Amino acid sequence: MNPRTRREMFARFQRQRPEPTTELEYRTPFELLVAVVLSAQATDAGVNKATRPLFERANTPQAILDLGLDKLTESIRTIGLYKTKAKNVFALCRQLIDKHDGEVPADREALEALPGVGRKTANVVLNTVFRQPTMAVDTHIFRVANRTGLARGKTVRAVEEKLLKVIPKEYRLDAHHWLILHGRYVCKARKPDCGACIVCDLCDFRDKTEDCSPELIARYATESIEA
């Protein structure tokens, strides 16, 4: 995929979703951090169902510690791997208080030092809360990047680094959300919905499940490009 095609791809994503954001529900940086930690191997909808009542009871590090590990564990038991996740959240709350005055740090190294926080979680927080141009490559982004030819790579880190290199600068802040949503709802794992894809004509995927829709593409296209 050439630079002009990549630019057109993200121009269309921007037209479709001018203000994309995470589907995890949160009101504060701390709430987002906890939600992302809980979202590993779980759906955003499932996490939201658990965090709505939890955050009403406790939505600060100190409040979580006051709630206690047992009650925290019970609050998120509907989420996969809930026992391990509860221990991580409880431990990261203690570390936030001890080392960061209870605040979520805007620093990758500090974030990744928190229990249960890896590179992907840190990237989500840095991008969504602190508006840094990071790229949290999950299964959706990894699939879309490779399938479309946007940024092919054999590892998550390779795809992350290539995406940050090839995505036009003006689109990098929101690219993370656009690609996740596109992978979640259109470029799905088992059967991509090519007929409902606004970048179908730009995509390098050879085994398209349906013909591209000229009408749909015309609605979002900003210029004429041969894929």
Active-site residues, by number, are: 120, 138
Q: How many angstroms separate the first and last alpha carbons of the chain?
A: 8
Tally Cβ neighbours within 10 Å of residue 213. 16
Query: Is residue 119 within 8 Å of 135, Cβ to Cβ?
Result: no
Nearest to 20 by CA among 178, 145, 172, 199: 178
Q: Where are the beta strands (DSSP E) in 164-205?
A: none
C-alpha 5, offset from chain centre:
23
The DSSP output letter for 200 is T
27 vs 227: CA distance, rounded Å: 41
- Residue 93 and residue 101: Cα distance in Å, rounded? 10
2: left (phi over 0), alpha (psi -120 to 50) or beta: beta
Cα–Cα distance between 90 and 95 in angstroms, integer? Answer: 9
